[in-house]
Amino acid sequence: MISDLWVHPALILILGAFILPFVQRGPLRKIFLIAVPCLAFGVTLFMESGVFATVQFMDWQLTFGRVDQLSKVFAYIMTLMCVIGTIYGLHVEEDAQHIAAWFYVAGSLGVIFAGDYLVLFLFWELMAFASVFLVWFRRRPQSLATGYRYLLVHTFGGLVLLAGIILRYKATGGDLSFNLLADAAGGNPGFSLHDIANVSLPTFLIMVGFILNAAVPPLHAWLPDAYGEATVTGAVFMCAFTTKTAIYALARSCAGMDILLPLGVIMALYGVVYAVLENDCRRLLAYHIVSQVGYMVAGVGIGTAMAINGSVAHAFAHILYKGLLFMGCGSVLYMTGKSKFTELGGLYKKMPRAFIFTLIGGLSISAFPLFSGFVSKSMIVAAGFEEHLYWAAFLLTLASAGTFLHTGLKVPYFIWFGKNNCSKETWEKAADPPANMQWAMGIAAFFCIFIGCYVPYLYNMLPFQEEAWHYAEVVYSSYHVSESLQILLFTALGFFLLLKKLKPEPTISIDMDWFYRMGGRGFQWLSCKPIQTVDNGVSEAYRYLGLIPLMIVSRFWSWFDWHGIDGVVDGIARGVRGVGGAGRSLQSGRLQNGILLAASVSAIILIVYVLS
């Protein structure tokens, strides 16, 4: 029984990553690549609830396997996406890309099953450091800078999270359990804008650490920056795990924090606006991750059973359809080398299968009836109306119209239809991608349709079953279907009426990253100019002042002409003269600094010894 001998799916992926370089290339290697994530998925599929893999470390009891309904549904979809993503990347010969991807997924699964904050932080950092290689492996000149920014931002977020964990550990007398935080006035698990001052600092820091990974503005610019620059297969993995792991962490610890509701609504609208302006198809999809994760953050902020169900269901559906969209656009990039709308167009004759798969992803993300987004996103909006949060529900509905505008219509139209902007070389290279990439897209497309048509498949996995089945009775009501179709059809009408206005242009949209990019340049100038100048001046002054006592001692002992000591002192004097003519022409160097440091330390030791 798996319950008796619990196996962590992350361990399977980590061991597989270590073994992969020793597997001979050829059919056996491809079988191994598929077998490892499938084994992890199978272990997750038959996992029973309970607490497993507890380890005593110093004074702490670490829990690596806290399994319940919430962790199981996230682990299910993440291991499934690992299978799909690995199939999509079977053509990649570089072992390092597969290893980085598996370590990345292992980090995410480690967070999902963590029962305490120490284990969570360990895997949280593994996620960040493994995923950055998926950006660097593209090996473009800008890839290194993009990955470095990505790493700096996530290192900052990790430090904020660690500070919150340490302060919480001290404030609670040693409690490291990863459960719902309850710090607000009155004992409520959430807090709002008017009572945020009553929230403890540890809770606030932990939440900030989580929402940075969820890409909540203004802490979001790392996402389009990195995901748009990642490798073709790396972007498929990255779009599925970091933000959704953050949603799990928020749902586990911050459910009902009212401040998350306005932040989520802002995310949903903010991502839509920047997606409409974007010219690069993968950066457009990345901005739309910000928008779609906004729904999930808002659901966590509402905090009711239906809202949490909606956030979990939408995270499940989002991993599949966003992965499908990145696979479709990644196929275009892989085959043509282009990802900008102004360099594509008219590819429906050359890449018909990629078009169909991408269209299914676009209809799913737009919440079209009979597709996965329809049965997940609407649950969050319904929870908003149920709690009389009308402003949030209406704004989220507005953001849904924008989703169909740019992802359901703009992406397929300007890549596969519209004006053909392809160069001769691009047009000749365009074709449907290799079979493994098509199989991966086909599997994801199947689930996008299956979830939308067979509601029990997803709803049976949600953490609050009663509320899930209550909503299942109305999700395909005539009112809900007609309302959704009206919004979608009027959005489509507006798109074609304003088609000339929506034509992509080769522009760059300035985002929040401008502040830390310019701030980084300012810090670099401050470090290299004023601070370094002062440092060099102090070093020179120290060098001069440090040599004066040595010269005085040399002259003093030479005056007495003591033969035993004189030789040593003369040697010091000769060394001083060799450095710079007895102090007249001094030059910098490690030897001088070492001599001065040794002399200074020796003098201090001697003084302390005499005085003691």
pTM: 0.84
Three-state SS at 47: coil
Q: Which residues pair with 177 in a beta bridge?
A: 116
Q: Which amino acid is at 74?
A: F
Examine the domain organization and report whether 73 and 222 are in the same domain. Answer: yes
Examine the domain organization and report whether 463 and 371 are in the same domain. Answer: yes
| pLDDT given at position 563 | 45
Secondary structure E strands in 68-160 = none
| pLDDT given at position 541 | 73
Q: How many CA atoms lie within 13 A of 143 on its CB side?
A: 17
Into how many domains does the chain fold? 2
Examine the domain organization and report whether 383 and 428 are in the same domain. Answer: yes
Burial (CB count <10 Å: 0-12, 13-18, 19+), residue 458? buried
Tokens read off for 313: 């269901």
Examine the domain organization and report whether 167 and 287 are in the same domain. Answer: yes
User: For residues 329 and 90, is the Cβ–Cβ distance under 8 A?
Assistant: no
Q: Is residue 1 part of a domain?
A: no
Condensed to tens digits (0 to 9), the pLDDT of residues 245-281 reads 999 999 999 998 889 999 999 999 999 988 888 889 9
Examine the domain organization and report whether 550 and 449 are in the same domain. Answer: no
DSSP of 320-387, one letter per residue?
Answer: HHHHHHHHHHHHHHHHHS--BGGG---GGGT-HHHHHHHHHHHHHHTT-TTSHHHHHHHHHHHHHHHT
The residue out of 484, 511, 538 marking a domain boundary is 511
Condensed to tens digits (0 to 9), the pLDDT of residues 92-135 reads 999 999 999 999 999 999 999 999 999 999 999 999 999 999 99
Burial (CB count <10 Å: 0-12, 13-18, 19+), residue 416? buried
The residue out of 478, 511, 544 marking a domain boundary is 511
Q: Is residue 364 part of a domain?
A: yes
- What does the alpha-carbon distance between residue 60 and residue 51 come to, in Å, rounded to a whole number? 16
Examine the domain organization and report whether 278 and 328 are in the same domain. Answer: yes
Helix (H) or strand (E) holding 149, with range, is: helix 141-171
- What does the alpha-carbon distance between residue 420 and residue 147 come to, in Å, rounded to a whole number? 33
Lowest mean pLDDT among 67-81, 316-330, 408-422, 451-465: 408-422
Examine the domain organization and report whether 291 and 338 are in the same domain. Answer: yes
Question: Is residue 610 pLDDT above 50, yes or no?
Answer: no
Burial (CB count <10 Å: 0-12, 13-18, 19+), residue 14? buried
Condensed to tens digits (0 to 9), the pLDDT of residues 279-334 reads 899 999 999 999 999 999 999 999 999 999 999 999 999 999 999 999 999 999 99
Three-state SS at 509: coil
Question: Is residue 516 pLDDT above 80, yes or no?
Answer: no
| pLDDT given at position 580 | 41
Task: Determine how many CB atoms are found less than 10 A away from the CB of residue 148.
Answer: 13
Q: Is residue 583 part of a domain?
A: yes
Condensed to tens digits (0 to 9), the pLDDT of residues 523-571 reads 777 777 777 777 777 777 766 666 666 566 555 545 444 444 444 445 4
Q: Which amino acid is at 78?
A: M
524 against 350, higher pLDDT: 350
Examine the domain organization and report whether 470 and 547 are in the same domain. Answer: no
514 against 201, higher pLDDT: 201
Examine the domain organization and report whether 472 and 553 are in the same domain. Answer: no
| pLDDT given at position 175 | 85
Tokens read off for 33: 């690549």
Evaluated on CA atoms 81, 84, 89, 90, the torsion sign reads: positive
Examine the domain organization and report whether 318 and 389 are in the same domain. Answer: yes
Q: Is residue 3 part of a domain?
A: no
Tokens read off for 228: 């748009």
Query: Which has the closest alpha carbon to 405: 512, 306, 496, 484?
Result: 496
Condensed to tens digits (0 to 9), the pLDDT of residues 575-597 reads 444 444 433 333 444 444 444 44
| pLDDT given at position 558 | 55
Q: How many CA atoms lie within 13 A of 231 on its CB side?
A: 22
173 against 120, higher pLDDT: 120
Q: Is residue 428 part of a domain?
A: yes
Q: Which residues contact 245 (CB under 8 A, 6 or more apart)?
A: 74, 108, 111, 112, 127, 213
Q: Is residue 409 part of a domain?
A: yes
Taking phi over 0 as left and psi of -120 to 50 as alpha, with beta for the rest, 174 belongs to left
Q: What is the mean pLDDT of residues 177-201?
A: 56
What's the pLDDT band for 519 if we cut at 50, 70, 90?
A: confident
Examine the domain organization and report whether 465 and 553 are in the same domain. Answer: no
The residue out of 511, 538, 553 marking a domain boundary is 511
Q: Is residue 2 part of a domain?
A: no
Q: Which amino acid is at 393?
A: A
571 is in which domain, residue-wise? 515-611
User: For residues 250 and 297, is the Cβ–Cβ distance under 8 A?
Assistant: yes
Examine the domain organization and report whether 524 and 446 are in the same domain. Answer: no
| Average pLDDT across the chain, whole number | 84
Q: Is residue 370 part of a domain?
A: yes
Q: What is the mean pLDDT of residues 602-610?
A: 50
190 against 420, higher pLDDT: 420
Q: How far is CA 492 from CA 286, 362, 479, 489, in A?
A: 22, 13, 20, 5
- What does the alpha-carbon distance between residue 277 and residue 263 come to, in Å, rounded to a whole number? 21
Query: Which has the closest alpha carbon to 491: 335, 583, 366, 327?
Result: 366
